[in-house]
Amino acid sequence: MRIELTRLDEDFHLQAANEDGLTVEADGSPAIGGHNKALRPMQMLLASLGSCSAIDVISLLRKQRQPLDNIKIIVTGEREPDQTPSPFTAIHVHYILFGDIADNKAERAVNLSMEKLCSVKLMLDKAAAITWSWEKQ
């Protein structure tokens, strides 16, 4: 796995590209001279956790032949106040599942992702307390 970062302006706006040429951008906060043109690195970390787990949950529900119409995930993080660096101390992942999904199948898919499958979650376990919840709509 390889990521190459390229600076897009004279400040903190960056583009990260993988071996396939797929890209994502990052920027610093305006408080430090960034231009708010992209997610900040710590926001991307939360997005990585949510997307990693979403892939697991979608895949698991498909294998269980559950009719998942859509999924929305809200990831929130709390950081060390007034610290530099300011790591996450707590993260919460909330899943909103759309479709006629059996409760026990939804619970199983979310728990398997968060307890055993999501690599990002397993890495972040070493740094922050991670909780999760889910609901059906």
What is the arithmetic mean of pLDDT over 16-32? 97
For residue 94, give the 3-state DSSP assignment: strand
Superfamily of domain 41-136: K homology (KH) domain (3.30.300.20)
What is the model's pTM? 0.93
How many CA within 13 A on the CB side of residue 95?
A: 30
Q: Where in the chain does DSSP place strands (E)? A: 3-7, 14-18, 23-26, 70-79, 88-98, 129-136
What local confidence, expressed as pLDDT, does residue 58 receive? 98
pLDDT tens per residue across span 32-60? 999 999 999 999 999 999 999 999 999 99
Domain extents in the chain: 3-32, 41-136
